[in-house]
Structure 1
Amino acid sequence: MADVRQELHQTQGLVMTAQMRQSLRLLQFSNFDLQSYVDEQLDLNPLLERAQPDTQPPTDRPADDPNTLSPAVQTGSGEAGMDEGRSVYGDSAPRSSGASGAAPTREEGGTGNIPLAERPLRDQIYQQLCLSPAGPQDRLIGAHLIEALDPAGRLGTDPAEIARVLNISPARVEAVRQRMMRFDPPGLFALSLQECLAAQLMEKNRYDPAMAALLDNLDMLARQDLKRLQAACGVSAEDLADMIAELRALNPKPGVEAASETVASVVPDILTYRAASGEWMLELNPDTTPRLVLNSALQTRIALHAQRRDDQTGLTEQLSNANWLIRALQQRSMTILKVSGEIMRRQEAFLTHGVGCLRPLTLRNVADAVQLHESTVSRVTSNKYIATPRGTFALKFFFTTALNGHDGETHSSESIRHTIRQLVNAEPPDAILSDDAIVARLRRDGVDIARRTVAKYRDSLNIPSSVRRRHLKAVSS
């Protein structure tokens, strides 16, 4: 019979309290989830109240400044989540600037609110863009095109201006615009009525030479000069009548139908701008950062009138929960600021020069730099958006894999995709680049890359093969 013995073993383990688990949840919350959670806590705990908003008016950056997004946003200090609401980074590591309640002066304004907009159609197009096979840079171009839509669905900004802001070729913007004109409803992003109607006819497979001639002579149709219009189209009077009827069934303003509905756009959690000193500034968006304080008047009144022990116990528990939430929100804000500051410090070249200058970056790189666990960095960057002079991005966008170079330098996969797209856009019709030729070009620039990787990146960018491109350019020339 086996001996029965009692043994004592000592082990170490991490026991997470309910508050520790809730703190981790707070880090991962999107700004919408956080606002909902705070609203719930305000209803449950009478000792909590929202801090009064700052009354200082915002400062505007000059309209011709290329770093302008919109009017500046002022941050507060001293309340929950805003004690360290701003940081600055340049050649040195990011440093918090509000630890003592003082914030650096914004000399020339900065990035501003990304407003809630009345734009359900834009929301639908964003979904189509996300579901399309477009790569990250094409999605960035598409986002700018969507923002430039006017109420009728036409493009209200010159594509060349979008190319200038993004520091990419106009041909790249035009290629994305042409693809997005086939989104539902077709005809959006057109620069003219003629182009809008042509896109809709193409979608119906009804764009032929006769229809093209009709669209080229819309002025004749407006004057009801049907004899000359018939001659220009080369069709009979009966066919012309059918064509005109088909044309009138199209929608000249495809963006109008959904204009009355209201949908909120993505609102960034972090704002980035360049100060007059040349340093890049980073701050939390006060519109998405709840600020809570203790209702001291109510706390005192309840304490004075509470006679029973159970009343005192309940008050003590509510006070403890309120203090914890205020500290937790403050810690959340400081952690987001620390992590996003390190990300943008490492991706500063992107802010200045564009997507082609993205650096390789991993969660581990950031975690080691800010002395946090990798899982914490992952939670911080989930569901968070940052507004930059080049657009609003998910923080996850800035994490890219690395490829080795001949000189020991690493290259971001996203910047290599950008280079491949530039090479293809610049190729003449009589000198189409094969994947091997692209490999040779990249290796000449110091990028050690395999042909299969180039083919994979080309497919992810929705770029046809060299054989297909040669055929397409021969047809269009």
Structure 2
Amino acid sequence: MALFPKLELRQSQSLVMTPQLMQAIKLLQMSNVDLTAYVEAELERNPLLERTGDTGEDRGGEDGGQEDRGGDFDPAGDSEAVPGDLVEVTRGEDVAAISDSLDTDFDNVYDAETPTTGPAASRDAGGDASGESGGNTGGDIGGAPGGWSTVRGDRRSGDGEGDFLEQTVAGEASLHDHLADQLAMAVSDPTRRLIGRHLIDLVDENGYLSEPPAETAERLGVPLADIEAVLATLQTFDPPGVCARDLADCLAIQLRERDRYDPAMQALVENLELLARRDLAALRKVCGVDDEDLIDMIAEIRRLDPKPGQAFGSEPVQPVVPDVFVRPRPDGTWHVELNSDTLPRVLLDQSYYATVSGGARSDTDRAYLSDCLQQANWLIRSLDQRARTILKVATEIIRQQDAFLAKGVRYLRPLNLRTVADAIQMHESTVSRVTANKFMATPRGIFELKYFFTAAIAATEGGEAHSAEAVRHRIKDLIDAEAADAILSDDAIVGILRGQGIDIARRTVAKYREWLKIPSSVQRRREKRAGL
């Protein structure tokens, strides 16, 4: 068989990840904060991009009023088409601030040595999303869709005199500065003052020393007795309990200040692991007190602060700003719209491009302007596509979880990415990117979009499956309603749920109970009997 060269023309299809496609995918999975930072960087880099004003009086002149992107969800039909071809929404003020309630249970006190950070926003399925606008001397307060209040500062005219003091925010004193000020007044010896300053630098945000005194003494080359003496002085500073070695030391310092550190209380503080397990019988034996005295001692422990340093210089919790608003309509349907305050507003300055392109003389200048024009067009199109996709996914989620909005978390349906992707004719990966770091404000609270995607738990008689989140809610309701003389074991909870048509295993109940941070039936029985 002879070998010879020849030319052939073949036609094939392939998916190529162009830079523009990569940019669109990157923008799709960004949160509103990351998106704002990205667009700000593009505005600085690309001279053809222009940030439009809040009043809509931009150089384009005719696009300022297009800010409402919404669709009505009707259970009997499809959502409305998204109007407009260009995303023109402005970054605005925070719409809602969700504050987390502090749990006073001793589990949190005992876990203070290994603190964890909580979510910025709590998901309260039974919460009320409506609010009332209060007075504000700095501007007007207007009601946002669904009852949320939006605060807007007024634009003052004139030369701005007299506004400086009102716009100046005093800096918050840090814990280290607060301790250093007290050290300067309490210690006069220069050597001990240097040791004290070094120990203050070792205090973490919770108020605990991050290094044992022996290691500090070895590194500084001073006797351990000097370190202990200075540390004893620091432990008398405000706030009480600061500069402690561990949780037991922190509680002991506060009890000494209250003159409550007697031998019985000392034994209790030295056996916090028994208190964490609710082993009251062992605690009574160790402390040598009766039930009444032990309950009083535990109540005294609960009134202490396990993290005294967090009152100073802590980072403010950033409120969650929803990307989508959902509000009911008079006819029983739901109106879904984008939150225009979470997206930046950018336009392409065509007049500036025409001016500078006419004066470009070199090929390098023309290539640079052409690249800037292409990048600006792709950014605007990517922002528009991102807004359309978010609204489309959110509308389908509301369609699937209509019963949850109307009746509560018990009616949350099992949902996965494939179901939503097939309904809106998109790929699962696209839906996954859309639901990442996006939040939805509903009449029942603010939820991350991923909250609505839960696993399915089969029904006992082949009926409709139950959502895992709804089952967890039922388990919590059952445990909250149990009496002191009728504590429900995991097996008993399984029997009740199966009687309600939920086919669930005991290990699944135990897993959900631990996820809810609910102790076992033995520990709950001890708490109920002790009145904790």
**Fold-level match, TM-score > 0.5?**
yes
Query: Which residue matches 1:455?
Result: 510
Q: Is the 8 A contact 2:98 2:320 kept in 1?
A: no
**Residue equivalent to 1:442:** 497
Which deviates more, 307-316 or 404-413?
Answer: 307-316
CA 1:441–1:4: 2 relative to 1, 3 Å: farther
Provide, for residues 345-365 of structure 1, a one-character-per-residue CA deviation record: whole Å limited to 9, x for no partner: 212222233322221111111
Partner in structure 1 of residue 465 of structure 2 = 410
Secondary structure class of the residue paired with 1:459: helix
Contact 1:350 1:357 in 2 (8 A): yes
Indicate the residue corresponding to 2:33 in structure 1.
32
Tell me, what secondary structure is at the counterpart of 2:123? helix
Q: Distance in 2 between matches of 1:116 and 1:424?
A: 30
Change (3 A) 1:259 1:133: closer
Structure 2: which amino acid aligns with 1:204?
L
CA distance in structure 2 between the aligned counterparts of 1:39 and 1:413, rounded to whole angstroms: 41
Displacement of 1:470 in angstroms is: 2.1
- 1:282 aligns to 2:336 (yes or no): yes
Partner residue, 1:334: 388
- One-letter amino acid matched to 1:114: V
CA RMSD of aligned residues (A): 4.8
* TM-superposed deviation, 1:324: 1.5
Distance 1:90 1:4, change over 3 A: same
Pairwise CA distance, 1:292: 1.4
Distance 1:391 1:263 in 2: 18
Asked whether the equivalents of residues 387 and 393 of structure 1 are also in contact (C-alpha less than 8 Å), the reply is yes
The answer for the alignment partner of 2:83 in structure 1 is 99
Aligned ranges 1:316-331 → 2 under 5 Å: 316-331=370-385
Residue 85 (1) aligns with residue 66 (2) = no
- Residue matched to 1:172: none
Q: Which has the larger radius of gyration?
A: 2
Change (3 A) 1:55 1:326: closer
Letter of the 1:315 counterpart:
L
Q: Does 1:52 align with 2:42?
A: no
Does the aligned pair in 2 maintain the 1:87–1:94 contact within 8 Å?
Answer: no
Distance 2:344 2:68 in 1: 14
Q: Which ranges of structure 2 fall in alignment gaps of 5 or more residues?
A: 87-92, 132-205, 208-246, 261-296
Q: Contact 1:268 / 1:285 at 8 angstroms: preserved in 2? A: yes
Question: Following the alignment from structure 1 to structure 2, what is the Cα–Cα distance between the partners of residues 277 and 113?
Answer: 30
Q: Percent identity?
A: 44
Alpha-carbon separation, structure 2, partners of 1:279 and 1:131: 44
Q: How does 1:296-311 map to 2 (within 5 A)?
A: 296-311=350-365
Asked if structure 2 preserves the Cα contact closer than 8 Å seen for 1:284 and 1:337, the reply is yes
Matched residue, 1:431: 486
Query: Given the alignment, which residue of 251, 270, 280 partners 1:204?
Result: 251
Letter in structure 2 aligned against 1:396 = K
- Return the match for 2:523 from 463, 468, 474: 468
C-alpha distance in 1, partners of 2:317/2:497?
43
Count of paired positions: 355
Q: What is the CA–CA distance in structure 1 between the aligned matches of 2:55 and 2:502, rounded to whole Å?
A: 50
In the TM superposition, residue 366 of structure 1 has moved relative to its aligned partner by 0.9
Q: Once the 2 structures are TM-superposed, how far is the Cα of residue 393 of structure 1 from its aligned partner? A: 2.0
For 1:61-460, list aligned pairs within 5 A.
Answer: 85-96=69-80, 98-99=82-83, 113-114=94-95, 140-141=123-124, 204=251, 257-258=311-312, 264-405=318-459, 406-460=461-515
CA distance in 2, matches of 1:314, 1:140: 48
Deviation at 1:272, TM superposition (A): 2.1
Cα displacement (A) at 1:336 = 0.8
Residues 93 and 345, structure 1, Cα contact 8 Å, conserved in 2:
no
After TM superposition, the score normalised by the length of structure 2 is 0.56
Report deviation, 1:430.
Answer: 1.8
